[in-house]
Amino acid sequence: MGIEQSDIKRIFGMYPHLLTCDIHTDIYPVFDFLLNDVEVPYRDIRKCISRCPRLLVCDVEDQLIPTLFFLRRLGFVGAHKITCQTTLLLVSSVEGTLLPKIDYIRSLGFSYKDATKMVLRSPGLLTFSISNNFRPKVEYFLNEMKGDVRELKRFPQYFSFSLEGKIKPRHCLLVKHGLSLFLSEMLKVSDGEFSARLVEMRLQSVDEKSVF
């Protein structure tokens, strides 16, 4: 299936019981599901398994197929269909993991349609912890940044950035100099580009003050 020896060692290290499972009843069905149900190209099978070895130990009928149906109803079809980048979502529990994330996003004041659009734009939202990711970042955004939740709808990728490593430091620098940026402008650029933008904005601010 194109899976390299280095990947196989890591996978068996994580799930040693795969060494004693029945390849016909336990492993073949997973590959068949990925190739024919999900329609992952053969060349991408290795990426799927390498990124999420847990696929190999999931029951196709009880876990993978129901989750695939749910994701498709959510909108993961057409241009947003499940690919090797997002097959890791298939190992998630619909009731225990996926629906609570959707419900939390809706609790911020978004409609179901808004919430689904957000996760389609940024599928990683369905993998983030509510307590360790969503809540602290929402609290910081609303309380410290005085943000408008509508900006989170426009830029759901906000939740994929580190709060301590990127969001707070950059926001604090902007506050220190009395400046502001949209979330996308603040976070999507590299450290060097952000620093250059900060200098540019400070110079522009000085020029504007000198005019008056």
The pLDDT of residue 209 = 57
DSSP the chain: ----HHHHHHHHHH-GGGGGS-IIIIIHHHHHIIIIIS---GGGHHHHHHH-GGGGGS-IIIIIHHHHHHHHHHT-SGGG---TTTGGGGGS-IIIIIHHHHHHHHHTT--HHHHHHHHHH-GGGGGS-IIIIIHHHHHIIIIIS---HHHHHH-GGGGGS-IIIIIHHHHHHHHHTT----HHHHHSS-HHHHHHHHHHHHHHHHHHHHH-
The pLDDT of residue 57 = 95
DSSP 93-138: -IIIIIHHHHHHHHHTT--HHHHHHHHHH-GGGGGS-IIIIIHHHH
Q: Which amino acid is at 186?
A: M
The pLDDT of residue 207 = 57
Q: How confident is the model at residue 95 (pLDDT cuts 50, 70, 90)?
A: very high
pLDDT digits (tens, 9 = 90+) for 46-81: 999 999 999 999 999 999 999 999 999 999 999 999
pLDDT digits (tens, 9 = 90+) for 132-147: 999 999 999 999 999 9
Mean pLDDT along residues 157-166: 97
Task: Indicate the domain borders of the chain.
Answer: 1-91, 92-152, 161-212
Percentage of the chain lying above the pLDDT 70 cut: 97
Chain-wide mean pLDDT for the chain?
Answer: 93
Q: Is 70 exceeded by the pLDDT of residue 206? A: no
The pLDDT of residue 1 = 87
Separation in Å, CA 116 to CA 78, 84, 132, 163, 184? 15, 20, 21, 23, 20
Q: Is 80 exceeded by the pLDDT of residue 91? A: yes
